[in-house]
Structure 1
Amino acid sequence: MTTITLKLRLYPTSNQANLLDATMEQYQLASNLVSNYYFEHSFKPKQSDLQKSLYHLIRDKFGLKAQMTQSSFKTVLARYKTVNTQLGRKPYKYLDSKSGKWVLVKRNLDWLQKPIQFHRPQCDLVSVRDWSFVKNQLSINTLGTREKMNFTAKGFEEYLDKGKLGTAKLVKSQGHYFLHVSCTLDNPKFEKGILKHVVGLDRGLRFLTTVYDEQGNTSFVSGKNVIAKRRKFKKLRQQLQSKGTKSAKRRLKAINQRENRWMSDINHQVTKTLVDTYGTGTVFTIEDLTNVRFATEKVSKHHRYEQVSWAFYQFEQFLTYKAELQGSTVVKVDAHYTSQRCPKCGSIDKSARNHGTHEYHCEYCGYTSNDDRIGAINIQLLGTNWVTDKSTSFKQVKSNEE
């Protein structure tokens, strides 16, 4: 099963809009109160503990209905769980003065210095209890009454009848109201017995994606225009920051949101093209980039932002759910030596890769190719090893690194 999020746009009347605003605002305040309590009690209370201590207080103080009150507890606990996971993925790194070595310390919620705050008005709504479809309209609970309003589901219409709809999040963006609905789909299960393709994907900035498949076909998604556009966003952002006025700050916020939407759109386009091209029964193999960083010191400070950052994790998420919907799968493999190993003779040589000319030349067998293509070939080989239950990492056979 795969869970995706459906984005429904709401069209409330002016009175309904006021009710939605009031509901989201009170839910936000209630969530902050719960967050403060959870932080002050060292992250120990469970949902049942929060209910015993805060249920009647929240209902009386913020006017939330019973189900919304329960949802505020779940919202806070889920947010802390997410932050805890994020902290665990990014250990604290420091240089030990005695040993002269870098030390990684795993982090958790104890590293937080203040409670998590919910700055954006929102509200989580439980299916049927808080929202439902009634004769081509959407029925939503508010602080006052349950309101029916028109909606559109552009691009998501096919999923409204296919999947199981669950909890939804009510949000307001750019003056418009949206309901983000979780939808669980019974997608075709991937089976190795019906395997059709094994595809290696090397992600980067010069080429957002370099693709290599089992037939030896190679394709590149250029990042040149992406870098240029991000450079424009950066320049505009710097100009607005230098002004420092209220209008400049509002404009700055809008620019940031626009850049994020644009990046998401690029990732959607690339991943959709990949899944549509290869279809059912495909193993998309990517590197596990956890704790992998781009070497910023090798890029000039002026160009550092746009050349060493991209939403690679988002790309991975988009590719994963799109592949699962098609009966395909995504496999993450060890990133070590994928850009240093010769795919022809298997030798590993760091100096074989020329970053200036973007060329890989093996001094042992003479094999030469584009360095990004080399990475995609090696990743594809690791994907093939996964299919055949062989080792999914390379061992250092030969090396000129020293």
Structure 2
Amino acid sequence: MKLVVRVKLLPTPDQAAALEMTLRSCNEAANWLSTEAFARQVTSRAGLQALAYADLRARGLSAQPALHVLRKVADAYTALKASVRVGNLGRPGSKRRARATSKPIMFRAGAAQPFDDRCLSWQMGATTVSIWTTGGRLKNIAFTGHPEQLKLLSRYRRGESDLLNRNGQWYLIATCEVPEAEENSRPGGFVGVDLGIVNIASTSTGRRHSGRHLNRRREQDRRLRAKLQRRGTKSAKRRLKRHAGREARRARDINHKISKCIVAEAQRTGRGIALEDLGGIRERARLKKPQRVTLHSWAFHQLGEFIAYKAKRAGVPVVSVNPACSSRECSRCHHIDKRNRLSQAVFACRFCGFVEHADLNASHNIASRGWWVWVCGARSVAPALTLVS
């Protein structure tokens, strides 16, 4: 399986200036090539190489960086065509689609630029890299990262690495091919995971990851952002830029921690994980406006992806189940009634009298559905072989 590892570069001022000049030159060349490709309607890799390879070399790019610029532009137009084809940019004639297709694709001055092993070499023992720049080979650029990520990088790194400048900080993003663990083919049950607003994730083992404190912090961030946007002064814009992405980074960190706990618990107990299939929840959910803001701004899909890839590494099976009526169904007698849900936190079955925390009851239902999905999926549907004498 592929994992992405990001390490932070620690260049000296002179090294940072050389990296900035290189990234700017590559993206200026990409913008020029994109304009030519749009005007001539040539967007394939082979077509762009025949059209502009010599011109890119004349702009000061070496052979490999010139090819990477060609591929970056071609891949950008391929992605645009795919988005148009599947309808991600709206229907034909819509303003959004017209804006995207009526002008060339442009790249930011600090946009990521790929480098292969001919242009970039890693010295893991010294934690330094050597990289090609427009001013010559730049050596002994220090980098740092989490020890676990550096271990993955040294053992499993494959292919290209992307150089990126984000808010004045320099990063290298590398792809690692990590071997998958053998999946547990006979899980002893499933850990059901109920996702929500008050409790981000509740498991059928009784653990709840509360979101109350986090929701208060997010509401404070939203109020501060709205206040600074209304003010509109230069200092307010500087502060907005400084705090940009803070909420997303916090949510990403919390999702990593929650997914790690859930996968570790399932692995320790020899069980699989059952997740809700939340596809289309934003269209289905009928909530009040404050609840809609909270629901739509939390990265539930990201949490599911984190659980899926961590489980894959640990050999823990993961299944998706239909979450319909999971919060209204009794996990004991399976009676479904809207009135069973007395409040956000209390579930009381009107048929058998079973009382439980509402999120815990829902997670038990999800775990039960996950087991049946696993049994039905694992059972062979092929006809038995008949020996004919």
Fold shared per TM-score above 0.5: yes
Structure 2 CA distance for aligned equivalents of residues 352 and 276 of structure 1: 32
Q: Which residue, out of 349, 353, 363, partners 2:350?
A: 363
Structure 2 CA distance for aligned equivalents of residues 74 and 375 of structure 1: 48
- In the alignment of these two chains, the number of paired residues is 370
Structure 1 CA distance for aligned equivalents of residues 279 and 87 of structure 2: 7
Give the unaligned 5+ runs of structure 1: 94-107, 393-402
Q: Is 1:121 the counterpart of 2:110 in the alignment? A: yes
User: Which residue is equivalent to 2:307?
Assistant: 319
Q: Structure 1 residues 48, 182: closer, same or farther in 2, change over 3 A? A: same
User: Which residue is equivalent to 1:102?
Assistant: none
Q: Structure 1 residues 152, 347: closer, same or farther in 2, change over 3 A? A: same
User: Which residue is equivalent to 2:154?
Assistant: 161
Q: Secondary structure at the match of 1:290?
A: coil
Q: Structure 1 residues 20, 344: closer, same or farther in 2, change over 3 A? A: same
Structure 1 CA distance for aligned equivalents of residues 272 and 40 of structure 2: 46
Q: Structure 1 residues 112, 374: closer, same or farther in 2, change over 3 A? A: farther
Q: Which residue, out of 224, 247, 255, partners 1:259?
A: 247
User: Which residue is equivalent to 2:384?
Assistant: none
Q: Structure 1 residues 382, 45: closer, same or farther in 2, change over 3 A? A: farther
Q: Structure 1 residues 112, 264: closer, same or farther in 2, change over 3 A? A: same
User: Which residue is equivalent to 1:199?
Assistant: 191
Q: Deviations over 1:315-346 (max 9, x none)?
A: 12222222222222433233333333333333
Task: Give the deviation of 1:56 after TM superposition.
Answer: 2.7
Structure 2 CA distance for aligned equivalents of residues 123 and 176 of structure 1: 12
Q: Which residue, out of 47, 53, 56, partners 2:54?
A: 56
Task: Give the deviation of 1:10 after TM superposition.
Answer: 1.6
Task: Give the deviation of 1:179 after TM superposition.
Answer: 0.7
Q: Secondary structure at the match of 1:162?
A: helix
Structure 2 CA distance for aligned equivalents of residues 117 and 265 of structure 1: 31
User: Which residue is equivalent to 1:328?
Assistant: 316
Structure 1 window deviating more from structure 2 (71-80 vs 50-59): it is 71-80
Whether the 8 Å CA contact 1:227–1:307 is kept in 2: the answer is no
Within a 5 Å distance, the mapping from 1:221-300 to structure 2 comes to: 221-279=209-267, 282-293=271-282, 298-300=287-289
User: Which residue is equivalent to 1:183?
Assistant: 176
Q: Structure 1 residues 246, 11: closer, same or farther in 2, change over 3 A? A: same
Counterpart amino acid of residue 165 in structure 1: R
Q: Is 1:70 the counterpart of 2:67 in the alignment? A: yes
User: Which residue is equivalent to 1:46?
Assistant: 44
Q: Secondary structure at the match of 1:341?
A: coil
Structure 2 CA distance for aligned equivalents of residues 17 and 30 of structure 1: 20
Counterpart amino acid of residue 54 in structure 2: H
Relative to the length of structure 1, the TM-score reads: 0.80
Within a 5 Å distance, the mapping from 1:294-313 to structure 2 comes to: 298-301=287-290, 304-313=292-301
Within a 5 Å distance, the mapping from 1:11-22 to structure 2 comes to: 11-22=10-21
User: Which residue is equivalent to 1:147?
Assistant: 138
Whether the 8 Å CA contact 2:8–2:171 is kept in 1: the answer is yes
Whether the 8 Å CA contact 2:267–2:316 is kept in 1: the answer is yes
Structure 1 CA distance for aligned equivalents of residues 285 and 27 of structure 2: 38
Relative to the length of structure 2, the TM-score reads: 0.82
Whether the 8 Å CA contact 2:131–2:138 is kept in 1: the answer is yes
Q: Secondary structure at the match of 1:227?
A: helix
Q: Deviations over 1:182-212 (max 9, x none)?
A: 111113131414x355211111211110111
Q: Structure 1 residues 324, 296: closer, same or farther in 2, change over 3 A? A: closer
Structure 2 CA distance for aligned equivalents of residues 5 and 242 of structure 1: 38
Structure 1 window deviating more from structure 2 (18-27 vs 109-118): it is 109-118
Structure 1 window deviating more from structure 2 (227-236 vs 77-86): it is 77-86
Whether the 8 Å CA contact 2:34–2:106 is kept in 1: the answer is yes
Q: Secondary structure at the match of 1:129?
A: coil
Q: Secondary structure at the match of 1:161?
A: helix
Structure 2 CA distance for aligned equivalents of residues 41 and 317 of structure 1: 40
Structure 2 CA distance for aligned equivalents of residues 244 and 209 of structure 1: 38
Task: Give the deviation of 1:282 after TM superposition.
Answer: 4.3
Aligned Cα root-mean-square deviation (Å) = 3.3
Structure 2 CA distance for aligned equivalents of residues 191 and 386 of structure 1: 15
Structure with more of its chain in helix, by fraction: 2
Q: Secondary structure at the match of 1:343?
A: coil
Task: Give the deviation of 1:270 after TM superposition.
Answer: 1.2
Task: Give the deviation of 1:168 after TM superposition.
Answer: 1.2
Task: Give the deviation of 1:37 after TM superposition.
Answer: 5.2
Task: Give the deviation of 1:160 after TM superposition.
Answer: 2.6
Q: Deviations over 1:268-322 (max 9, x none)?
A: 1111222233326542221222222177763245x65345420112212222222
Q: Structure 1 residues 247, 330: closer, same or farther in 2, change over 3 A? A: farther
User: Which residue is equivalent to 1:398?
Assistant: none
Q: Which residue, out of 119, 122, 131, partners 2:120?
A: 131
Q: Structure 1 residues 201, 162: closer, same or farther in 2, change over 3 A? A: same
Structure 1 window deviating more from structure 2 (144-153 vs 356-365): it is 356-365
Q: Deviations over 1:125-158 (max 9, x none)?
A: 3331221124622111112212112222323222
Q: Is 1:208 the counterpart of 2:196 in the alignment? A: no
Task: Give the deviation of 1:221 after TM superposition.
Answer: 0.5
Whether the 8 Å CA contact 1:125–1:167 is kept in 2: the answer is yes
Structure 2 CA distance for aligned equivalents of residues 119 and 203 of structure 1: 37
Q: Deviations over 1:370-398 (max 9, x none)?
A: 33223322221222123212599xxxxxx
Whether the 8 Å CA contact 1:294–1:308 is kept in 2: the answer is no
Counterpart amino acid of residue 64 in structure 2: Q
Structure 2 CA distance for aligned equivalents of residues 118 and 345 of structure 1: 58
Structure 2 CA distance for aligned equivalents of residues 250 and 296 of structure 1: 36
Structure 1 CA distance for aligned equivalents of residues 62 and 97 of structure 2: 30
Counterpart amino acid of residue 147 in structure 1: L
